[in-house]
């Protein structure tokens, strides 16, 4: 990660004198107008954060979505038969198997949550994924239900002032991916017997590889 951060510093320095039609160059234009408003260091930081915030999250959402639909072929087949189920399948995946299961907060004042006293300045890892398994909100939370009507009532995209800025984009990308796959490969199946492995990272979750067959032969 340190090497990648340093690589991005070089990218910003290079593009500062050789603009192209890309996001880094657009950010550099803001820097030109007011160097204090957005420094080179901050531009590198935005590029760095977006690589993970905007890519890994959505990449894993698509993989989790495919995994959950294909692990029960009848589920996949029902989405193929009725593409109207696509948005619900995406929301249900974000509830049942979210790609950002854990996110961070720092307490600004002492607080008691769920009977636990937490001091000011505590660094918290919030188990966002647990919100999707709250039985008082979701009947039969362990059941993946394509037709659940309130699947969006989770913390899959966080909450409050830092709510995911890319939530609509991430869902749109997943929508396009699934709609394209059900059209192009309606008989898609998981390769049987594969064991999934995951990056050793608690914030972003999805299989490192997902092997599929395009059809029965
Ligand atoms: C679809 C999959 C995605 C999931 C599950 C996801 C999840 C999250 C979560 C849980 C947070 C923390 C919210 C909080 O602290 O309350 C977050 C923040 C953020 N996300 Fe996403 N995200 C996704 C896609 C994206 C995309 C596609 C982008 C940008 C292209 C993006 C950009 C961001 C940024 C910039 C923040 C920080 C917002 C802030 O701190 O004010 N995310 N996301």
Q: How far is the CA of 70 from the centre of ligand 1 (A)?
A: 26
The pLDDT assigned to 201 comes to 86
pLDDT computed for residue 2 by the predictor? 94
Please determine, for residue 217, whether its predicted confidence score (pLDDT) is greater than 60.
no
The pLDDT confidence band at residue 202, using thresholds 50, 70 and 90, is confident
Q: What is the CA radius of gyration of the chain?
A: 20
Q: Which tens digit of pLDDT belongs to each residue from 163-194?
A: 999 999 999 999 999 999 999 999 999 999 99
**Which residue puts its alpha carbon closest to atom 9 of ligand 1?**
157
The per-residue DSSP string of 14-46 comes to HHHHS--SSHHHHHHHHHHH-TTTS-HHHHHHH
User: Using a 6 Å cutoff on CB, does residue 58 contact ligand 1?
Assistant: yes
Does this model's pTM top 0.75? Answer: yes
Give pLDDT tens digits for 97-149: 999 999 999 999 999 998 999 999 999 999 999 999 999 999 999 999 999 99
| Residue 54: both structure tokens together | 């905007």
pLDDT for res 35: 95
Q: In the predicted model, is pLDDT for residue 40 greater than 60?
A: yes
Q: Is the CB of 159 under 6 A from ligand 1?
A: yes
Give the residue whose CA is nearest to atom 1 of ligand 1: 170
Q: Determine the pLDDT at residue 216.
A: 63
Q: Give distance in angstroms: CA of 99 to centre of ligand 1.
A: 10
pLDDT number for residue 51: 85
154 lines ligand 1 (CB under 6 A): no
Q: Is the CB of 65 under 6 A from ligand 1?
A: no
* Residue 208 · residue 199 · CB < 8 Å: yes
Question: Ligand 1 in contact with 189 (CB < 6 A)?
Answer: no
pLDDT for 215 equals 75
- Supply the residue whose CA is at minimum distance from atom 7 of ligand 1: 157
CA dihedral 17, 19, 23, 24 (to 10 degrees): -10
């Amino acid at each position: 990660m340190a090497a990648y951060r340093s690589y991005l510093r070089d990218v910003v320095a290079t593009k500062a004198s050789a603009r192209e039609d890309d996001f880094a160059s657009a950010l550099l234009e803001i820097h030109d107008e007011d160097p204090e408003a957005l420094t080179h260091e901050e531009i590198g930081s935005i590029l760095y954060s977006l690589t993970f915030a905007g890519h890994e999250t959505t990449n894993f959402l698509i993989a989790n979505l495919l995994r959950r639909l294909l692990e029960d072929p009848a589920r996949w087949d029902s989405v193929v038969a009725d593409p109207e189920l696509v948005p619900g399948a995406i929301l249900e995946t974000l509830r049942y198997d979210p790609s950002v299961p854990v996110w961070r907060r720092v307490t600004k004042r002492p607080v008691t949550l769920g009977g636990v006293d937490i001091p000011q300045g505590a660094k918290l890892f919030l188990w966002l994924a647990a919100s999707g398994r709250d039985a008082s909100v979701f009947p039969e939370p362990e059941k993946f239900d394509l037709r659940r009507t309130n699947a969006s009532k989770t913390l899959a995209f966080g909450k409050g002032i830092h709510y995911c800025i890319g939530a609509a984009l991430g869902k749109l990308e997943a929508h396009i991916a699934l709609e394209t796959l059900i059209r192009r490969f309606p008989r898609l199946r998981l390769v049987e017997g594969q064991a999934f492995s995951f990056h050793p990272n608690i914030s972003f979750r999805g299989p490192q590889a997902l092997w599929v067959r395009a059809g029965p032969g």
